């Protein structure tokens, strides 16, 4: 889980809370937040279902690969734009391929 960005974990937790509230109602929100806060010494979720959910979330994000255009040998502005796109894709926790 060390390579899993904090932003991605926050996105997972926001999704989990919203999903639990949608599925079971607002009354479950406090318990869902306690489930997220309940962690083991290594910082992973103590709830096995949440650990599995986070693993699935991470795998689903890792499976998304954005096709990037090839860089140009002569157009430096194009190359810079591609590098900015790559940085934005990686910041979202997604992969890319040339």
From the first residue on, what is the mean pLDDT of each consecutive set of 10 residues in the chain (98 residues)? 65 93 94 94 93 89 77 78 84 78
Q: Tell me, what's the pLDDT at 25?
A: 94
Per-residue pLDDT at 2? 38
CA atoms within 13 A on the CB side of 90: 8
Cβ pair 8, 93 in contact under 8 A: yes
DSSP H or E run through 96: strand 95-97
- With beta carbons less than 8 A apart as the criterion, state whether 82 and 69 touch: yes
Question: What distance in Å separates the CA atoms of residue 49 and residue 52, rounded to the nearest whole number?
Answer: 5
Task: Kindly report the pTM of this predicted structure.
Answer: 0.65
Q: Which residue has the tokens 């949608």?
A: 22
């Amino acid at each position: 889980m060390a390579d899993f960005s904090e932003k991605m974990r926050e996105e997972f937790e926001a999704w989990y809370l919203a999903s639990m509230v949608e599925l079971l109602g607002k009354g479950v929100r406090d318990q869902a937040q306690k489930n997220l806060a309940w962690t083991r010494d290594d910082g992973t979720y103590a709830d096995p279902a949440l650990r599995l959910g986070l693993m699935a979330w991470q795998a689903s994000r890792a499976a998304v690969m954005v096709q990037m255009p090839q860089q140009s040998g002569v157009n430096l502005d194009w190359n810079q734009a591609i590098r900015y796109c790559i940085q934005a894709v990686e910041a979202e926790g997604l992969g890319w391929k040339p």
